Amino acid sequence: MNDPQDSTASEGRDPGAAVTADEQSQAAADRVTANAQADGPADAEGSPEAAAAPAGDGESGTTPAGRRKRKRSFWKELPILVAIALLLAVVIKTFAIQAFYIPSGSMENTLEINDRVLVNKIVYHIRDIHRGDIVVFNGDGSWDPGTVPVTGNIFQQFADGFASMFGFGHPGDILIKRVIGIPGDHVACCDAQGRVTVNGVPLNEQSYLYPGAAPSLARFNITVPPGRLWVMGDNRFFSEDSRDHMGDPGGGTIPQSAVIGRAFIIIWPPSRWRILPIPATFNQSALTASPAAGPPADLGTARAEPAGQTVPLVLGFTGAIPLTWLQRRVRTRVAKRRRRGS
């Protein structure tokens, strides 16, 4: 049998031991909780990280200071964007594409009054001028008094383009016609059916002539000199073209150097939108044969006006946006590398 005193003593010691164990367990739990809070997620309510986080504007977390910084950055980048856009606009207008509007009816119905056309200035650096092309050219020194404009170097062309962009300079007497004969072609009118012939091959012009217009009421017979073009309007009743300048130097032809570019599309009004292709009659293989011999003629307008700067400016800003974004990315990366290096 156990001694009653031992039993009592044992019972007296057990509560004390239990209290000690509970205190130790509680202390250990407090330490675990403290560690968990220190290592836990930063967004826990009441955590030090949450308390230290700056007050934002909702879920975006954007601070007023951040918004002000981005606003300042936008205004800082805007002049760069505008400068790049203007530079690209001048380059595009001078060397690539320019818009013109049609103020007269001598190219009807292919081109109507107030049509806007885009002119490709690059194409004739890649290929020769073709029969059937609709070309925009400078009439100064061609049919009008004066000297034929001389194309300067790239810097002079850029300076001229920059000046004309802002309404300075002299654009010249800009005209628009269809090319009928290229250098070496024998162009004549008319055959027994009243058609214009090129190298003895009659042209079927009904697809582009003004309805009811005859190919020509004036007769002519000329071999196009080297470096020159014979051009005519599509509305032959009301077109002042090569036929009306046969008494001028060149026999009515214009110099190829006066050509600004090829009109290739009508862009305005929307109802008139269409490509300006070369008519099928100019694709006859016989036209490329050796020109037929013919006696030289004894050696008389649709105009095209620049259609403002909208097209080059739109294209300039379109190209400036990615370029501005790119230079900003490059500048940001360079700044980060410098900070890391320091």
Length of the chain: 342
Interatomic CA distance for residues 76 and 80, integer angstroms: 8
Segment holding 229, helix H or strand E:
strand 228-232
Q: Which two tokens stand for residue 82?
A: 């505008």
Terminus-to-terminus CA distance in the chain, angstroms? 84
272: three-class secondary structure by DSSP = helix
Catalytic position from the list 121, 142, 164, 177: 177
- 174-181/220-223 β-pairing: unpaired
Would residue 106 show up in a list of annotated catalytic residues for this protein?
yes
Would residue 336 show up in a list of annotated catalytic residues for this protein?
no
- 274-275/259-268 β-pairing: antiparallel
Amino acid at 283: N
Unique residue bearing structure tokens 């007269």? 104
Spatial neighbors of 312 by CB under 8 A, at least 6 apart, are 89, 90, 92, 93, 97, 98, 99, 165
Of 143, 137, 140, the C-alpha closest to 247 is 143
Q: Which two tokens stand for residue 165?
A: 């962009």
Contact 143, 245 (CB under 8 A): yes
Contact 294, 300 (CB under 8 A): no
Instruction: Write the CA distances from 127 to 49, 78, 116, 138, 176, integer angstroms.
Output: 69, 40, 24, 20, 19
Of 220, 229, 236, the C-alpha closest to 258 is 229
Unique residue bearing structure tokens 């130790």? 24
Catalytic position from the list 93, 104, 106, 242: 106
**Catalytic amino acids?**
106, 177
